[in-house]
Amino acid sequence: MTELTLAQQFEMQRIRNATKTMTKKQAVDLLVQATRLLTIKNNVIRSLGK
């Protein structure tokens, strides 16, 4: 697995801190949005490989 850059590590920590004050619904919505974006990213990468 590739390590995260310092900037990516900082962003992950920022998100961790932000989620501490989120409601359960907000956290679920964030997770769904992140999953959607990763799926779109995978689709783009797959289409570029064709």
Q: Is residue 15 part of a domain?
A: no
Q: Which of 46, 44, 18, 47 is nearest to 31 (CA)?
A: 18
Domain membership flag for residue 6: no
Q: Is residue 14 part of a domain?
A: no
27 and 19 Cβ atoms separated by less than 8 Å: yes
Contacts of 45 (CB under 8 A, 6+ apart): none
pLDDT in tens, 7-50: 999 999 999 999 999 999 999 999 999 999 999 999 999 999 88
Please check whether residue 11 lies inside any domain of the structure.
no
Answer whether residue 39 is part of any domain: yes
Asked if residue 41 is part of any domain, the answer here is: yes
Tally of domains within the chain: 1
Model pTM score? 0.73
* pLDDT tier for residue 1 given thresholds of 50, 70 and 90: low
Q: Which residue has the tokens 């310092």?
A: 6
Q: Rounded to 5 degrees, what are φ and ψ at 4?
A: -80, 150
Q: Is residue 45 part of a domain?
A: yes
Range of the domain at 35: 22-50
At 19, list the tokens: 């989620």
